Structure 1
Amino acid sequence: MNNNRIPTKPHYPILDGLRGVAAIIVVTFHLTEPLGTGHLDILVNHGYLAVDFFFLLSGFVIGYAYDDRWHQMSIGTFFKRRIERLQPMVLLGMTLGAIGFYFTDSPIWPLIHTIPLWKMLLVLFIGYTILPVPLSLDIRGWQEMHPLNSVGWSLFFEYIANILYATGIRKFSNKTLGIFVFIAAVALAHLAITSPNGDVSGGWTLNAEQLRIGITRTMYPFFAGLLLSRVAKPTRIKHAFLWCSLLIALVLYMPRIGGATHLWMNGLYESVCIIVVFPLIVYLGASGMIHTRGEHRICKFLGDISYPLYLVHYPLVYFYVAWISKHKGVTIAQAWPYATLILLGSILLAYASLKWYDEPVRKWLRKKMG
């Protein structure tokens, strides 16, 4: 038997669509973030929780796709398939960030025009591997582990979760996995409720504090998704895509809770969202039925562009942030035409990247990797 020839299982189309809905909300979060004065007054105040939702979806889908196939699949085959799926868009996203790097001139990034080309290229090539760069290579000045494309940090932790799954956690019994997930949930709630900012936001800097945040944000949702894929018995739920999309939007667009005086309340809210609400949404989405051809097309389109959109939008956001920084006091009323242009441009770029780059490259990689 050729271990590389593992047939693909059918997708959950509604989960694909929900991933696209969350990806669009991430873009709106990044477009409203520079208009706030701090973490308490961002218009899309919980938009960063979409990353935690992505982790949970990823764990669920990987459990569904691979858990019962290890008798005919090696660890090497698993990683080949994950690299084929994830890495092409990582390379494109980093390249777009490098192309735009010297053009995002802004007072908030005074270092940019002092960075020699060789240093930027070194950061680019390290970024291609998705390994984090040390703070000594922080060429933008935001202390990001991927200064050319900020969102790369979550892919770093996605790979860590994949490695842990393939090399050991996949062998856990449901009981052992349940204990592991419970401990991870406690750690996540503790992080959120005791955080100095009253939230789980963070994970993108290569230091001990931020690595702890990144690991904590990854462990519960990813492996809760894995456990859910094992124990959930989906039923048949009507209009699940609509209701789940509304629920995701409600959770992520919810205004800040507790204000500056009761930060723990916001941490508690985010804990409940990640630990309880997100698994519920995934369960409902997995149980949902597609009723019309139009709904199927919407879910497929959103699912197809979700990952490319996540990887290509931030190089465009850098230009938008630079514009905001040069026009102090810009209001949402003044910024929304530019924000809308970036949002629509990101969606178009994601679709073009999917059709002209991601799909052809993945097809080529499948042939090369057997």
Structure 2
Amino acid sequence: MQTLSRGIEEQVNPEKREISRVSWSVLAIMRFYLAVMVVFYHVPFFCASTDIAVKISKFLPGYAAVLVFMLISGYSIAHSAATQPKGFYLRRIERVFPVYLASIVLACLGWAIYGPAPVSAVGLFEAPASVWTVVANFFMLQGTLTDHLQTNQVTWSLSIECLFYLFAPLFTRTSTRNLLILWAVSALLYLIPAAFHLPEPNSSKYGLGAIMLLWSWLIGFLIYRHQSESWVWILALVSGGFLISHYDLGVCVYSGYMYTLAVVVIMMVKTLPAWLNKISGYLGDLSYPLYLVHFPTMLLLACSGRTAPSWLLVLGAVIMTLLVYHVIDKPYRSKLKKARMVSELS
């Protein structure tokens, strides 16, 4: 095992970056599983209190799932920025915005169709957002200059990830020692809301939420850089579970364990059954639209104070996910791929 002192002094040279030892298929399946977990975590927002989904949701740490998403994002973005620095920002925009804009349109439909009356069975959305808030959300400014749309609450985490994308090329040129300093500062700030009753990451502005969650994203970034070294896995296993367990967000008591278990799976599982490996890419591709469109879709199915059975909410979310993926996401990316091939040939 290489020593920690050697590891923290290393500067990443993208040209010498070794092939990933973490399975991309495992990460794809993990992303899909996390998205499904978030879906079931939100189902009780829109169904009757007697629905079985309400009981199940108590065992689903949706917030921890978001933090594991951050870790996986840090890993994959480290790979992208290090191995293909040219066109990095354009690739991110092309990947993120088509599905994201579709989710914002869905989020506005609740107000457009049902008006300013409460549109949730639990009364969460009593008035439409201002024009400024909607426009700012179109440009991914929630969490910096405005609030996220209440009719699609999950977008707060995506805006934080996009802030990380801005700094990813800089992070690839930053020493591990300095990244660990950033990680430590973020980890400390992450605990502040619980200690001083300050706004939480999902409701903070001016980029404070991104600073508080940077620690999890940087763990993924560091795993990509030092995945053959034991210390980075120990950091991920110990710090992640500890920080989440000591963060008072009223989340599931299993959150810390879930984060640690996810790191163990990523670290230990290198191969998948043949049948699962074949569909891993497809399920991984579905995870992004599923995460973004499930909330406004379920809201539309349970508007104006009505409730809906959990099976209908989940089915609606799945159907909308498939529509957005096959009508918007996949065709758009296929068109871009062909355009790049033509450009390279010419």
Matched with 2:168 is 165
Letter in 2 for 1:93: S
1:174-206 Cα distance to aligned partner (Å, 9 max, x none): 233233323333433x24753759xxx943335
Matched with 1:97 is 107
* In the alignment, structure 1 residue 233 sits paired with structure 2 residue 228: yes
CA distance in 2, matches of 1:310, 1:267: 19
Letter in 1 for 2:225: R
1:239-282 Cα distance to aligned partner (Å, 9 max, x none): xxxxxxxxxxxx9xxxx989xxx9699799756765x5543333
Quote how far apart the aligned CAs of 1:101 are. 2.2
Of the three residues 231, 248, 272, the one matched with 1:290 is: 272
CA contact (8 A) 2:59 2:254 kept: no
Of the three residues 52, 55, 61, the one matched with 1:46 is: 61
Of the three residues 44, 61, 65, the one matched with 2:76 is: 61
Letter in 1 for 2:226: V
1:307-326 Cα distance to aligned partner (Å, 9 max, x none): 01011111123235546x45
Matches within 5 A, 1:245-324: 270=255, 274=259, 276-284=260-268, 287-292=269-274, 294-319=275-300, 322=303
Matched with 2:219 is 224
Q: 1:13 to 1:152 in 2, by over 3 A?
A: same
SS in 2 for 1:102: helix
CA contact (8 A) 1:132 1:145 kept: yes
CA contact (8 A) 1:153 1:204 kept: yes
CA contact (8 A) 1:25 1:47 kept: yes
Matches within 5 A, 1:17-56: 17-33=29-45, 43-44=58-59, 46-56=61-71
Q: Which runs of 5+ in 1 are unaligned?
A: 1-8, 138-143, 236-250, 328-334
Q: 1:30 to 1:12 in 2, by over 3 A?
A: same
Matched with 1:5 is none
Quote how far apart the aligned CAs of 1:30 are. 0.7
Matched with 1:344 is 315
1:110-153 Cα distance to aligned partner (Å, 9 max, x none): 434xx7xxx55x54433221112899x8xxxxxx4234522221
* In the alignment, structure 1 residue 81 sits paired with structure 2 residue 91: yes
Letter in 1 for 2:164: A
SS in 1 for 2:141: coil
Quote how far apart the aligned CAs of 1:18 are. 0.8
Letter in 1 for 2:285: D
What root-mean-square deviation, in Å, do the aligned CA atoms of Structure 1 and Structure 2 show?
3.8
CA distance in 2, matches of 1:91, 1:353: 11
Quote how far apart the aligned CAs of 1:93 are. 0.5
Quote how far apart the aligned CAs of 1:225 are. 0.3
Using the size of structure 2 for normalisation, the TM-score is 0.71
Quote how far apart the aligned CAs of 1:86 are. 0.5
CA distance in 1, matches of 2:26, 2:229: 13
Matched with 2:148 is 145
Of the three residues 180, 184, 197, the one matched with 2:186 is: 184
Letter in 2 for 1:88: P
Matched with 1:332 is none
CA contact (8 A) 2:37 2:60 kept: no
* Matched-pair identity in %: 22
Q: Work out the number of aligned pairs and report it.
A: 296
Using the size of structure 1 for normalisation, the TM-score is 0.67
Quote how far apart the aligned CAs of 1:207 are. 4.0
Quote how far apart the aligned CAs of 1:366 are. 5.2
Quote how far apart the aligned CAs of 1:290 are. 2.2
CA contact (8 A) 2:74 2:220 kept: yes
Quote how far apart the aligned CAs of 1:85 are. 0.7
Matched with 1:242 is none
